[in-house]
Amino acid sequence: MLLNKLKTFWRAVRRLSGDDAYERYLQHHAEHHQADAPLSKEAFFKQWQDEKWNGIKRCC
């Protein structure tokens, strides 16, 4: 029981931190985009970082 709670907690931490983003991307890609090849891990993280940090990111 404790092990299950720890695993659930760890999955939540990974999701909140974005550590499991590539695994979730691969799962989504396999379900919805079988015709195209998925991005490599490096290309995925570069695209993810570019989307996160490029452009204007301010309130005013």
DSSP string for 15-49: HHHTTTHHHHHHHHHHHH-TTSPPPPHHHHHHHHH
Task: Note whether residue 43 is domain-resident.
Answer: yes
Q: Is the pTM of this model over 0.85?
A: no
The CA distances from residue 7 to 2, 10, 24, 26, in Å, are 9, 5, 17, 21
* Number of domains making up the chain: 1
Please tell me the predicted confidence (pLDDT) of residue 58. Answer: 72
Instruction: Domain of residue 15: give its range.
Output: 2-53
Please tell me the predicted confidence (pLDDT) of residue 56. Answer: 73
Task: Note whether residue 36 is domain-resident.
Answer: yes
The vertex-35 CA angle with 29 and 39, nearest 5°, equals: 45
Task: Note whether residue 60 is domain-resident.
Answer: no
4-59: per-residue pLDDT in tens? 999 999 999 999 998 899 999 999 999 999 999 999 999 999 998 888 888 776 77
Task: Note whether residue 58 is domain-resident.
Answer: no
